[in-house]
Amino acid sequence: MEKQTENGPTTNTIPRPTNPMVTPLLTDLYQYTMAYAYWKAGKHHERAVFDLFFRRSPFGGEYTVFAGLEECIRFIANFKFTEEEINFIRDALPGTCEEGFLDYLRQVDCSEVEVYAIAEGSVVFPRVPLIRVEGPVAVAQLLETTLVNLVNYASLVATNAARHRIVAGKSKMLLEFGLRRAQGPDGGISASRYCYLGGFDATSNVAAGRLFGIPLKGTHSHAFVSSFMSPDEIVEKSLCSADGSTTCQDFVGLVHTWLNKIQRTRLSIGSFGDTNLSELAAFTSYALAFPNNFLALVDTYDVLRSGIPNFCAVALALNDLRYKAIGVRLDSGDLAYLSCEARKFFQAIEKEFGVPDFGTMSIAASNDLNEETLDHLKKQGHEVDAFGIGTYLVTCYAQAALGCVFKLVEINNQPRMKLSEDVSKVSIPCKKRCYRLYGKEGYALVDLMVGENEPAPKVCTNQ
Amino acid sequence: MEKQTENGPTTNTIPRPTNPMVTPLLTDLYQYTMAYAYWKAGKHHERAVFDLFFRRSPFGGEYTVFAGLEECIRFIANFKFTEEEINFIRDALPGTCEEGFLDYLRQVDCSEVEVYAIAEGSVVFPRVPLIRVEGPVAVAQLLETTLVNLVNYASLVATNAARHRIVAGKSKMLLEFGLRRAQGPDGGISASRYCYLGGFDATSNVAAGRLFGIPLKGTHSHAFVSSFMSPDEIVEKSLCSADGSTTCQDFVGLVHTWLNKIQRTRLSIGSFGDTNLSELAAFTSYALAFPNNFLALVDTYDVLRSGIPNFCAVALALNDLRYKAIGVRLDSGDLAYLSCEARKFFQAIEKEFGVPDFGTMSIAASNDLNEETLDHLKKQGHEVDAFGIGTYLVTCYAQAALGCVFKLVEINNQPRMKLSEDVSKVSIPCKKRCYRLYGKEGYALVDLMVGENEPAPKVCTNQ
């Protein structure tokens, strides 16, 4: 466990929580009624130890990825009330509250609080304290709800991302596309951040890209495609070649030439009739805007009869100007089948027109993907290189909450525990140390919890 | 539908979004790549119409409560880029982006955007546009992800709250206790806000109380109870009577006297032995801090053999000083059974000691409640007056996302629709008006969508 002690707020250089809404008021009212009662009883300074842990790994799985610690540290390091917050607390407390308590709150910070925690991003297991908070009981108590809130969802979604990564395999690109379906703005921002920590490669969320330096990915939507009527709309038709040596004055015409070539050629994939021209216009426009990064959503009308041939016509025109298209995205239909057909088409183009690497064009897939559908796709066989995953990932649809708790385990050096008729809710008393034991082969075997003052486990050399 | 048009940002008095993280960057990257492509194609000013709607009501139900509109309006009304944001967009766009586009973004706002929406809090149905956005295609497109994010979870959790209210019945108090398990800080704040809109009475979330004026509720936790060792710890033992006329010098002693009386008396509920004294100390301390608002969590040790008798001793001591205790909270075990036994005990106390209304003492229950468990409790019969509901409510565990979408339905007065192999994903083109038709008895019969220029439905008088 790493130890992080705050040494007074005046010299504090730890930044504030990323979300400005994370303040000492982001907590349950009872933390304040308890703080007041502790203060009235003269108990508020008593030294308490709380463990933050969860009781069961999510998604029916055997592990959890611990996340949210940095925000907890930021919150603790900057814990201080504004006068406005203190006034609100006065009004929020039931009955009349003595001014002395508010004076006490005015000087509260976490300078007497010690935080011990497992490193963020670690794989962790039930009942092991992820964070241990030691400090004056009233202050430690005030931190409870916020810390639990910051760890719960962060760890849940990081674990979800890790599970998706394991199913998808190391070679696939995983993109988090969940912002629009996330539980509120910062459900979205947290999702992007902690999915990246859990093993995703990039996000579509621009704000998360800016805040955390996560790589950003995205192309265009169906609306973009359907906003075009025909290629006649395109006014600026010229495109300079990639090396700047020549300029094609009529890129739209070049695309048409290629479309005709593809249509006339008997590709192994079979023939097709007229493609949708509004789609062709949209793709052409997008290529004119991003000739180095042409990636097209191909399922607005018909993937195999329109989207793929239109994409290929534009990609081949780009190729004439030495640009290399990136690929396509599928957002509906039978993703396994469509990706395989698209791959065959690309390979046929490569062969027919002698365009190197055209067959390895990237195929991205989205549309309500989750751990289960990734697994199904794998079993069916597919040609998808990148998965864009949203709703099920970021809302943790399969289990929308991790039950992190924050339990008093010691006060004034006396062990405390919560009893319950529900055995799983009984807490383990005392300050603990936790060791992860590794076997000879370097794999973790077990996490061992011992009392703070018990001897550390020793390596047995004569096995 | 109400119309809300923004008339230029300079005279704008609509406040910014509640969460400062709601900025024009809180969107998918592809909104910017599309905006750039529209701009490159000279199409960015084209007048587009988008509908925001959902395809199916959540939780297998037949209705949805529409929420999130106010935040959408705040976002739209204040939509404007900072120079720092523009610099980030320049870096985030793939390839090199022309400066002219950034100059365009510098002057973008929503002064040319019109928003039509159904009133927030309305009961709404699938496929009816909740919000219609009309404006320059590039700008309307930039709003998409943020609007969908702001409406999706807000409407989902408001609907969830309304469903809990319907199952619980009008007479029960419903308290939202979900902050610690919510999906991130503003998952928690949004949950509190929209559960209140959906029919809850109060929240434990202090920040939500301050931001939205939602009544706050809360008492104490198990940690508070287990932090006490014995009543000897209590130093300040005096309590002034409610009317200020007398002062009891030893409230702790008075509580003990009552506990002994209860123990000696053969109450109809049956006898019990010694209660837990650390619990008694905690309750006494809490009563000394909040004599007018004494509400105790009674399940830290044993509800019927310790929690309830200890509570009654303190409540009777308070009664001697003319204070009226509020009641108890149960957080584990068989809530139906325990609430009925607690009620009998309170009634026996009322009868035995002649304390008026003691039998109607409030009983609150919490512990992983949801729509289903509320229903089970109702069927079993219970004596609970107030339910504290957290995890399942705020994370919308039964269905963690509402599939709101934002679809292009018109551009340059031309209808547009999205085709799909998945029929449910096909969008309904054209600008629409929606009417809710009421029968003679005043009940809503059906929502009728017609084209913008079609005549309004007429009341048929000669049925």
pLDDT 10s digits, A320-364:
999 999 999 999 999 999 999 999 999 999 999 999 999 999 999
CB nearest B422 (choices: A153, A216, A332): A332
Q: What is the pLDDT of residues B14-51, one digit of tens each?
A: 999 999 999 999 999 999 999 999 999 999 999 999 99
**Would the CB atoms of B145 and A227 count as touching at under 8 Å?**
no
Burial call B24-47: b when 16+ CB within 10 Å, e when fewer: bbbbbbbbbbbbbbbbbbebbebe
- Crossing angle for the helix pair A29-40 and A137-168, to the nearest 10 degrees: 150
Residue A87: count of CB within 10 angstroms of its CB: 13
Asked whether the beta carbons of B394 and A187 are under 8 A apart, the reply is: no
Q: Is A36 on the interface with B (CB under 8 A)?
A: yes
Q: Which chain B residues are closer than 8 Å to A391 by Cβ?
A: 401, 403
Q: Is A188 on the interface with B (CB under 8 A)?
A: yes
Q: Is the pLDDT of residue A62 over 60?
A: yes
Q: Which chain A residues are closer than 8 Å to B207 by Cβ?
A: 21, 23, 25-27
- Crossing angle for the helix pair B137-168 and B29-40, to the nearest 10 degrees: 150
Q: Which chain A residues are closer than 8 Å to B418 by Cβ?
A: 222-223, 226, 300
Q: Is the pLDDT of residue B347 over 90?
A: yes
What average pLDDT does this structure show over B327-336? 95
d(CA B131, CA B146): 13
**Would the CB atoms of B236 and A288 count as touching at under 8 Å?**
no
Q: What is the pLDDT of residues B271-302, one digit of tens each?
A: 567 899 999 999 999 999 999 999 999 999 99
**Would the CB atoms of B37 and A290 count as touching at under 8 Å?**
yes
**Would the CB atoms of A396 and B400 count as touching at under 8 Å?**
yes
pLDDT of residue B185: 87
Mean per-residue pLDDT over chain B, rounded:
92
All domains of chain A in start order, with CATH: 2-153+402-428 (3.20.140.10), 220-367 (3.20.20), 431-463 (no CATH)
Q: How confident is the model at residue A416 (pLDDT cuts 50, 70, 90)?
A: confident
Q: Which residue of A has its CA nearest to B400?
A: A397
Q: Which chain A residues are closer than 8 Å to B92 by Cβ?
A: 206, 209-210, 216
d(CA B156, CA B252): 48
CB nearest A29 (choices: B153, B206, B407): B206
Q: Is the pLDDT of residue B7 over 50?
A: no
Q: Is A337 on the interface with B (CB under 8 A)?
A: no
Mean per-residue pLDDT over chain A, rounded:
92
The two structure tokens encoding residue B114: 């019109």
Q: Is B426 on the interface with A (CB under 8 A)?
A: no
Q: How confident is the model at residue A4 (pLDDT cuts 50, 70, 90)?
A: very low
What average pLDDT does this structure show over A140-152? 97
Tell which phi-psi region holds residue A199, choosing left (phi > 0), alpha (psi between -120 and 50) or beta. Answer: left
pLDDT of residue B186: 81
**Would the CB atoms of A391 and B403 count as touching at under 8 Å?**
yes
* DSSP 8-class letter at A231: G
**Would the CB atoms of A28 and B179 count as touching at under 8 Å?**
yes
**Would the CB atoms of A42 and B236 count as touching at under 8 Å?**
yes
**Would the CB atoms of B223 and A141 count as touching at under 8 Å?**
yes
Residues 255-274 of A with CB under 8 A from B: none
What average pLDDT does this structure show over B167-173? 96
Q: Is A6 on the interface with B (CB under 8 A)?
A: no
Q: Is the pLDDT of residue A205 over 50?
A: yes
Q: Which chain A residues are closer than 8 Å to B301 by Cβ?
A: 419
Q: Let me know the angle formed at the C-alpha of A184 by B408 and A89, rounded to the nearest 5 degrees.
A: 145
d(CA B64, CA B80): 32
Task: Write the CB contacts of A138 (distance below 8 Å, at least 6 apart in sequence).
Answer: A34, A35, A38, A39, A43, A44, A45, A108
Q: Is A305 on the interface with B (CB under 8 A)?
A: no
d(CA A364, CA A355): 21
Q: Is the pLDDT of residue A10 over 50?
A: no
CB nearest B19 (choices: A144, A185, A333): A185
Asked whether the beta carbons of A63 and A128 are under 8 A apart, the reply is: no
> How much of chain B, in percent, has pLDDT values that exceed 70?
95
Q: Is A43 on the interface with B (CB under 8 A)?
A: yes
Q: Is the pLDDT of residue A1 over 80?
A: no
Residue B358 backbone dihedrals phi, psi, to 5 degrees: -60, -30
3-state class of B70 per DSSP?
Answer: helix
Q: Is A73 on the interface with B (CB under 8 A)?
A: no
Q: Is the pLDDT of residue B2 over 50?
A: no
Instruction: Give the DSSP H/E element, type plus range, for residue A298.
Output: none
Asked whether the beta carbons of A154 and A117 are under 8 A apart, the reply is: no
Q: Is the pLDDT of residue A9 over 50?
A: no
DSSP for A115-145 reads EEEPPTT-EE-TTS-SEEEEEEHHHHHHHHH
**Would the CB atoms of A41 and B293 count as touching at under 8 Å?**
no
Q: Is A242 on the interface with B (CB under 8 A)?
A: no
Residues 338-367 of A with CB under 8 A from B: none
**Minimal Cα–Cα distance from A346 to chain B, Å?**
22
Q: Which residue of A has its CA nearest to B47?
A: A227
Q: How confident is the model at residue A260 (pLDDT cuts 50, 70, 90)?
A: very high
Q: Let me know the angle formed at the C-alpha of A434 by A430 and A439, rounded to the nearest 5 degrees.
A: 150
3-state class of A287 per DSSP?
Answer: helix
Asked if ipTM goes beyond 0.95, one says no
* DSSP 8-class letter at B205: B
What average pLDDT does this structure show over A409-427? 82
Asked whether the beta carbons of A185 and B72 are under 8 A apart, the reply is: no
| Single-letter code of the amino acid located at A292 | N
Q: Which chain A residues are closer than 8 Å to B33 by Cβ?
A: 218-220, 286, 289-290
Q: What is the pLDDT of residues B99-157, one digit of tens each?
A: 999 999 999 999 999 999 999 999 999 999 999 999 999 999 999 999 999 999 999 99
Q: Which chain A residues are closer than 8 Å to B216 by Cβ?
A: 29, 92
What average pLDDT does this structure show over A168-183? 96
Asked whether the beta carbons of A27 and A144 are under 8 A apart, the reply is: yes
Q: Which chain A residues are closer than 8 Å to B209 by Cβ?
A: 29, 88, 92
pLDDT of residue A463: 52
**Minimal Cα–Cα distance from B127 to chain A, Å?**
17
Q: How confident is the model at residue A185 (pLDDT cuts 50, 70, 90)?
A: confident
CB nearest A207 (choices: B25, B414, B425): B25
**Minimal Cα–Cα distance from A133 to chain B, Å?**
14
Residue A90: count of CB within 10 angstroms of its CB: 15
Q: Is B27 on the interface with A (CB under 8 A)?
A: yes
Q: What is the pLDDT of residues A361-405, one digit of tens each?
A: 999 999 889 999 999 999 999 999 999 999 999 999 999 999 999
Burial call B430-453: b when 16+ CB within 10 Å, e when fewer: bbbbbeeeeeeeeeeeebeeeeee
The two structure tokens encoding residue B341: 């036994």
> How much of chain B, in percent, has pLDDT values that exceed 90?
84
| Single-letter code of the amino acid located at B384 | V
Task: Write the CB contacts of A133 (distance below 8 Å, at least 6 apart in sequence).
Answer: A49, A50, A52, A113, A114, A115, A140, A143, A147, A406
Closest Cα to residue B276, out of B298, B294, B254? Answer: B298
Q: How many helices (H) and strands (E) would you count in chain B? A: 14, 18
Instruction: Give the DSSP H/E element, type plus range, for residue B379.
Output: helix B371-380
Q: Which chain B residues are closer than 8 Å to A41 by Cβ?
A: 233-236, 285, 288-289
Residue A362: count of CB within 10 angstroms of its CB: 15
The two structure tokens encoding residue A5: 């002690």
d(CA A342, CA A316): 15
Residues 99-158 of A with CB under 8 A from B: 137, 141, 144-146, 148-150, 152-154, 157
Q: Which chain B residues are closer than 8 Å to A301 by Cβ?
A: 419
Closest Cα to residue A168, out of A365, A364, A384, A374? Answer: A374
d(CA A145, CA A142): 7
